[in-house]
Amino acid sequence: MTSHRLSRVLGRVLVAFGTIVLLFVAYQLWGTRIVESRSQDTLRREFEQQLHRVGTPTTTTSPEPGSTTVSPVTTPTPVGSGSVPAEGRPVGTIRIPKLGVSAVVVEGVAAGDLRQGPGHYPGTPLPGQAGNAAIAGHRTTYGAPFFDLNELGPGDDIEVTTTQGAFRFRVTRTLVVAPSDASVIAPTLSPELTLTTCNPRFSASQRLVVQASLDSIPAPTPSPSPPGGTTTPGTARAASTAALAGANGPWIPALTWGLVVLCAVVAIWQLAKRQAGAWREVVYGAGGVVVLLLLFFFFGAVSPLLPASF
What is the C-alpha separation between 20 and 231, in angstroms, rounded?
A: 44
Q: Are residues 142 and 196 in the same domain?
A: yes
Number of domains in the chain: 2
Same domain, yes or no: 166 and 46: yes
Domain for residue 227, yes or no? no
The single-letter DSSP state of residue 108 is -
Residue 51 lies in a domain: yes
pLDDT of residue 76: 53
Farthest CA pair distance, the chain? 87
pLDDT digits (tens, 9 = 90+) for 132-169: 999 999 999 999 999 999 999 999 999 999 999 999 99
CA-closest candidate to residue 33, choices 149, 140, 112, 118 = 140
Same domain, 148 and 271: no
Amino acid of residue 175: L
290: domain range?
248-310
Same domain, 256 and 189: no
Which pLDDT does position 282 carry in this prediction?
Answer: 92
Same domain, 307 and 202: no
Per residue in 77-103, pLDDT tens? 544 667 889 999 999 999 999 999 999
Cα Rg for the chain, rounded, in angstroms? 24
Q: Which stretches does DSSP call E strand in the chain?
A: 58-63, 70-75, 90-96, 101-107, 119-120, 132-136, 157-162, 165-177, 192-199, 206-214
Could you give the C-alpha distances from 236 to 20, 25, 26, 290, in angstroms and in order?
48, 42, 43, 53
- From 165, 197, 214, give the residue that closes a domain: 214
- Mean pLDDT, the chain, whole residue set: 85
Beta bridge partners of 255: none
- Whether residues 161 and 292 share a domain: the answer is no
Q: Please work out, in degrees rounded to the nearest 5, the angle formed at the alpha carbon of residue 228 by the alpha carbons of 226 and 233.
A: 65
pLDDT of residue 61: 37
Residue 154 within a domain? yes
298 within a domain of the structure (yes/no): yes
Say if CB 191 and CB 128 are below 8 A apart. Answer: yes
Domain boundary among 172, 190, 214: 214
CA–CA gap between residue 271 and residue 284 (Å, rounded): 9
Q: Tell me: the pLDDT tens digits for 37-80?
A: 999 999 999 999 999 998 755 443 344 444 434 345 444 554 46
Q: Is residue 233 part of a domain?
A: no
Cα separations in angstroms, 6 against 13, 17, 267, 270, 290: 11, 16, 22, 19, 28
Can you name the residues that pair with 157 across neighbouring β-strands? 170
Whether 264 and 203 map to the same domain: the answer is no
Query: Distance (Å, rounded) from C-alpha 59 to C-alpha 183?
Result: 34
153: domain CATH number is 2.40.260.10
